[in-house]
Structures are given as C-alpha cells and as structure tokens.
Amino acid sequence: MKTLLFILAFLLCEDGYAQTIPSSKAFKPIELYQSDNLIVIQISENAFVHTSYLQTNDFGNVPCNGMIVRNNNEAIVFDTPTNDTSANELIKFIKEKLHCKINAVVPTHFHSDCLGGLAAFHNLNIPSFANYSTIELTKANHVVNPQNGFKDDLKLSLGKTYAMVKYFGQGHTKDNVVGYFPSENVLFGGCLIKELDATKGYLGDANVAEWSNTVRKIKIQYPNLKIVIPGHGAIGGSELLDYTIQLF
C-alpha cells in the first residue's frame, strides 16, 4: 500500500507530472475509480492506467499496471487485472463509467500480472489477442490461453483510430510485447519497462543479455513518446526507456 500511495502521489502531483510532459500540454491525472482491488487513473484525454494487486513471495503485495485506451465509445485493454474479481470490476467500470464497448484485451506476456483476469473477459465474449509465443507459454504453464495469436505486430481498430501491439525482442520474458496508442503518443511498456529507480525485479524468465537492445529498438521506433507506462510503478516519459536501458 505504501508503494501505491507513492505512485498516486507522483501521478496526482502537478509538479512531478510536469517533469515528463511540457506544462503547455500537461493533462493532470484524475483518479476515476478506487476499491480494495482496483484503481483507475485517467492520464490523458483517452488513455487510462488500471492498477490491481498481486501477492508474491519475494516482493509482497505488488501493484500491477495495465492500460485502457478509448475512442468513439470503444476501448482496448492492455493486460488484465491480476484476478477475475478485479477484472470484472474493470469491465464494469469501462462499460458503465466510460460507456465503452471493449473491442479486445491484450496480455503483454504470459505472467499472471498480465493475464490473471483473462477468464473474466472470455466469459463476456471479449476477444483476446497475444503473441504466438505467449499462447505457447500459457499452454505450457497450464493457465488461461489468449484466443487469437500474432507474430510480430498487430493493428487493432478503435473507433475512428487504432492501437498497435508490437514485439521488439526478448527482455523480461521471451514473449513480451508493448502497446502503443499513436493518437496520443502513449506507450504501455508492461514489465519490459521499469519505473525510475526500480530494481531489476523478477528475472526468472528474463533474457538479461537482450533486454537493453530490445528497449533501444522501442526508443528508435517511437521517438516522440509523451507518456510511458511501466508494468509496475509510476508513469513517466521516454526517460523510463533510458533508465531501463541503463539498468540492464
């Protein structure tokens, strides 16, 4: 909970946020929803961070981020909340408060902080999309499988615009992908991207030798990022890419 309060303090602090986005273009984050299981914060006109919790042996009760993007009453969710209860809360919030139909959910890798609530989406006939490697790994680990696979990248329709999912290489896991919302230059890096001053975290499925190279490719592909969302911790700008490159 202390970690979460720190994240919220950073997000809701106008001065702290202005360090990552020029003040002329700053959108002051707004907390739209909070319960014991889930927090949703609006970080730009059409992008939101959802945060749920995962109890771990090594790192305690860890806040885990995902992203929602919307356009024209349609939404796409990147990473599910960590369990079905939190996922059902998020789905209800999107439908009732954002008034959006959910076009797709995209787990960015095979760990439970990305797809622990996937069954809740499937139960409501919301289609899921993931890297083919993610699907293989979910089958090998006997967890819920994403329904639709892609190899390198995927363009998902979203109202009058779109969102992108792209595989840049191995890092936190061999299957990790990122989500990009081009209309607002928002990147969901997932666990491939670290918040500032973070440690390396869980490395049990990592390719540490390739991690920095993978993030360098992201930086080259998206040179004008305004907001970067890490898998855990506070959002920022492209400095999160630089920090992750340096860390590894």
Give the residue carrying structure tokens 């340096």. 246
- Is the model more confident about 55 or about 203? 203
| Cβ–Cβ < 8 Å for 80, 144 | no
What is the Cα–Cα distance from 207 to 227, expressed in whole angstroms?
25
3-state helix, strand, coil in the chain (%, to 5): 30, 30, 40
CA atoms within 13 A on the CB side of 111: 21
pLDDT at 12 over 70: no
Give tens-digit pLDDT for 80-123.
999 999 999 999 999 999 999 999 999 999 999 999 999 999 99
Cβ-in-10-Å burial (0-12, 13-18, 19+) of 182 comes to middle
pTM: 0.89
* Among 18-22, 30-34, 87-91, 121-125, the least confident range: 18-22
Give tens-digit pLDDT for 154-182.
999 999 999 999 999 999 999 999 999 99
pLDDT at 79: 98
Q: Which two tokens stand for residue 140?
A: 């090998």
Give tens-digit pLDDT for 235-248.
999 999 999 999 99
Architecture in CATH for domain 2-247 = 4-Layer Sandwich (3.60)
Assign 61 to helix, strand or coil: strand
